[in-house]
């Protein structure tokens, strides 16, 4: 039985270069980095004081219908990213929804629209929570549960919890755009977006929806979330006085770690048959996905399976799913965050898959430009893959010098014939994801 084909009709990446694919693509091709001192909080007490934040002009209130503005008060930043990305994606796909045009009939019936959005562990706003905690202190200034239960907790807004549940990304997006089909929230760290995109593919294939808003969003620029990145060994050493733009060197063993970037966004995935029937502009084909779990003695630790075997399994599963051989892959977008152990894992995985052909596979590195985008990565990377295929061009690479057998060292943007691009990532926790995006022919 032939499988229902899935295509990409809308792009809504959100990154430190701004909303949508255009500012991101220009910056990547021109080799600009958005890494800068962190504005969100004073990060000088951490290993790294720099990251890639959304532009100051980003204002979620401008990205929701007027009637929904009040609800932006209960959106954590991660939710704002998903909401902004969703508006861009549905607009790019030429879809009318309750969110873009509340008075017109939607292009696709709401019960045929699904929503799968990956999310990170969202940390509470420290100022808001601590203002409440500070009202419940004992004589020594320590938190006092008795006072908190009696009175202190009343300081928190009644909807406080709803800002931080990971499924609130999909909750807001489905309400705004009236997506009543299958909906889910996948929380697998760096693999979240890729696994969500794969789930949307399955939902469309099995006929449970015709369109899915799919993607993921994350920000670690909150002291608690940021500390977890540091404790997990993810951050490069980068003081506020150093130039962060030259710090991140994916696949170069001299790299000292990663700097985090906010971002992610939403893609519109659609069944090819219904996309064609409505005359949609088809950007690319989502031709295959794969997933696997790492296993090694330190699976529950910080660097799962350094051999890269399990990431290679996920990539090979995606190639089989796409009906594409390793030789047919024209470019690869790995996580490539600059943490040496993770980069080595990915390099080993790619060597297993591509063998001697590895040096001829150009690698696209995003982290020096937009930081490590964690749960948002797969959405941004797939958007970039789509653009590479559309423009028949590779973006510039920054910073890396010695990348061994990987074609990942610094290089300007170049024109290139591309048919199939692979996106892949391992994760803290060991889930691996791979996605093959193909030129629509």
Partner 1 sequence: MSTNQSNRRVVVTGMGWITPLGHDIDGVWKRLLNAESGMGPTTRFDARTFPTNFCAEVRDYSIDRFVKDASVHASAGLNSQFALGAACQAWKQSGLEGFGGLDRKRVGLYLGAGEGVLDFDNYAAANLAGWNAADRKVDGVSWAGTAHQVLERMCEVEQEPNMPLAHLAREFGIRGPALNCLTACAASTQAIGEAYSLIQRGDADVMISGGTHTMIHVLGVTGFNRLTALSTSKGDPTKASRPFDATRDGFVMGEGSGMIVLESLEHALARGATPLAEVGGYGSSADAFRITDIHPEGRGGAASMHMALAQAGIDPLARRTDGRAAIDYISAHGTGTKENDSIETRGVKRVFG
3 counts as binding partner 1 under rule CB under 8 A: yes
Q: Single out the residue of 291, 386, 398, 436 in contact with partner 1 (rule: CB under 8 A).
A: 291
206 counts as binding partner 1 under rule CB under 8 A: yes
160 counts as binding partner 1 under rule CB under 8 A: yes
Of 139 and 141, the one with the shorter C-beta distance to partner 1 is: 141
410 counts as binding partner 1 under rule CB under 8 A: no
Smallest gap, in angstroms, from Cβ of residue 205 to partner 1? Answer: 6
Of 230 and 391, the one with the shorter C-beta distance to partner 1 is: 230
Smallest gap, in angstroms, from Cβ of residue 427 to partner 1? Answer: 7
**How would you label 310-347 residue by residue, b for 16+ Cβ within 10 Å and e otherwise?**
bbbbbbbbbbebbebebeebbbbbbbbbbbbebbbbbb
Query: 98 with 177: CB under 8 angstroms?
Result: yes
Please identify, among the stretches 23-31, 84-92, 245-253, 423-431, the one whose residues bind partner 1 according to the rule CB under 8 A. Answer: 423-431
d(CA 374, CA 216): 9
d(CA 15, CA 80): 12
Cα 11 to the center of its chain, rounded Å: 13
Q: How many residues does the chain have?
A: 441
Which residues from 70-129 bind partner 1, rule CB under 8 A? Answer: 71, 74, 110-112, 114-115, 119, 121, 124, 126-127, 129
Burial of 87 (0-12, 13-18, 19+ CB in 10 A): buried
Q: Single out the residue of 199, 262, 330, 346 in contact with partner 1 (rule: CB under 8 A).
A: 199
326: Cα within 13 Å, side-chain hemisphere: 18
Q: Where are the beta strands (DSSP E) in 67-210?
A: 113-119, 183-186
CB atoms under 10 Å from CB of 302, counted, come to 14
61 counts as binding partner 1 under rule CB under 8 A: no
* Phi/psi at 158 (5° precision): -55, -30
Which residues from 129-158 bind partner 1, rule CB under 8 A? Answer: 129-131, 133-134, 137, 141-143, 145-150, 153-154, 156-158
Smallest gap, in angstroms, from Cβ of residue 320 to partner 1? Answer: 10
Smallest gap, in angstroms, from Cβ of residue 36 to partner 1? Answer: 16
Smallest gap, in angstroms, from Cβ of residue 157 to partner 1? Answer: 7
d(CA 39, CA 50): 9
Please give the size of the binding site for partner 1, defined by CB under 8 A: 98
Q: Single out the residue of 379, 431, 437, 440 in contact with partner 1 (rule: CB under 8 A).
A: 431
């Amino acid at each position: 039985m032939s499988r229902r084909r899935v295509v990409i009709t809308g792009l809504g990446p959100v990154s430190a270069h701004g909303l949508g694919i255009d500012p991101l693509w220009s910056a990547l091709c021109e080799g600009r980095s958005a890494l800068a001192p962190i504005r969100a909080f004073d990060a000088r007490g951490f290993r790294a004081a720099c990251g890639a934040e959304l532009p100051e002009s980003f204002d979620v209130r401008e990205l929701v219908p007027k009637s929904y503005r009040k609800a932006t008060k209960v959106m954590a930043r991660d939710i704002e990213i998903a909401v902004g990305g969703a508006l861009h994606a549905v607009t790019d796909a030429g879809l009318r929804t309750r969110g873009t045009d509340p008075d017109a009939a939607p292009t696709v019936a709401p019960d045929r629209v699904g929503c799968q959005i990956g999310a990170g562990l969202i940390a509470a706003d420290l100022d808001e929570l601590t203002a409440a905690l500070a009202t419940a202190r004992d004589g020594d200034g320590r938190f006092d549960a008795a006072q908190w239960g009696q009175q202190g907790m009343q300081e928190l807004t009644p909807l406080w919890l709803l800002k931080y549940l990971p499924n609130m990304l999909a909750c807001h997006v489905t309400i705004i755009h009236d997506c009543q089909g299958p909906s889910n929230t996948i929380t697998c760290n760096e693999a979240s977006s890729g696994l969500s995109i794969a789930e949307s593919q399955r939902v469309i294939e099995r006929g449970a929806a015709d369109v899915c808003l799919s993607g993921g969003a994350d920000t670690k620029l909150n002291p608690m979330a940021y500390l977890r990145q540091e404790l997990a060994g993810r951050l490069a050493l980068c003081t506020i006085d150093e130039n962060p733009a030259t710090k991140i060197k994916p696949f170069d063993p001299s790299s000292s770690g990663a700097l985090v970037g906010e971002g992610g966004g939403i893609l519109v995935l659609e069944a090819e048959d219904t996309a064609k029937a409505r005359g949609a502009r088809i950007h690319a084909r989502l031709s295959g996905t794969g997933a696997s779990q790492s296993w090694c003695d330190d699976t529950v630790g910080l660097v799962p399976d350094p051999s890269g075997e399990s990431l290679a399994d996920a990539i090979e599963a995606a190639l089989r799913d796409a009906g594409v051989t390793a030789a047919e892959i024209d470019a690869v977008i790995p996580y490539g965050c600059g943490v040496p152990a993770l980069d080595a894992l990915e390099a080993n995985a790619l060597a297993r898959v591509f063998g001697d052909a590895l040096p001829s596979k150009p690698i696209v590195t995003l982290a020096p430009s937009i930081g490590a985008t964690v749960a948002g990565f797969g959405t941004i990377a797939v958007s970039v893959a789509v653009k590479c295929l559309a423009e028949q061009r590779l973006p510039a690479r920054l910073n890396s010098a010695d990348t061994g057998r990987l074609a990942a060292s610094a290089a300007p943007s170049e024109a290139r014939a591309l048919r199939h691009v692979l996106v892949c990532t391992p994760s803290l926790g060991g889930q691996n994801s791979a996605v093959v995006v193909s030129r629509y022919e």
